[in-house]
Amino acid sequence: MQRVAFLLKVREERLDEYKARHREVWPEMLDALRSAGWRNYSLFLRPDGLLIGYLETDDFDAALAAMAGTEINARWQAEMAPFFEALDGRRPDEGMIPLEEVFHLD
């Protein structure tokens, strides 16, 4: 099992709307994430827009690829892209910056 943490940057002027969208994630998107092997997935947001994501999966690259192959992910990523800084034309799921795990209690 892989534990994955990643960074993205949400535009400060869009924080409230970003949080509101995540209170109402489409059921089809939730089902797709689960089917693609995303487990224990959480997002944490700092007031300046720094977003830290965390998930557990058997294979992060395979989980990303499985999501990339779904129509629901394409629609979600297109709607979410304007919320983020520094994507340089990439989708938000392509702009995730994974962090190196340096300690785990267990």
What is the C-alpha to C-alpha distance for residues 38 and 66, in angstroms, rounded to an integer?
Answer: 10
Catalytic residue among 3, 22, 34, 75: 22
What is the C-alpha to C-alpha distance for residues 55 and 61, in angstroms, rounded to an integer?
Answer: 12
Phi, psi of 14 (to 5 degrees): -115, 10
Helix (H, G, I), strand (E, B) or coil at 53: strand
Active site residue 104: no
Angle 30-36-38 from CA coordinates, rounded to 5°: 65
Kindly list the catalytic residues: 22
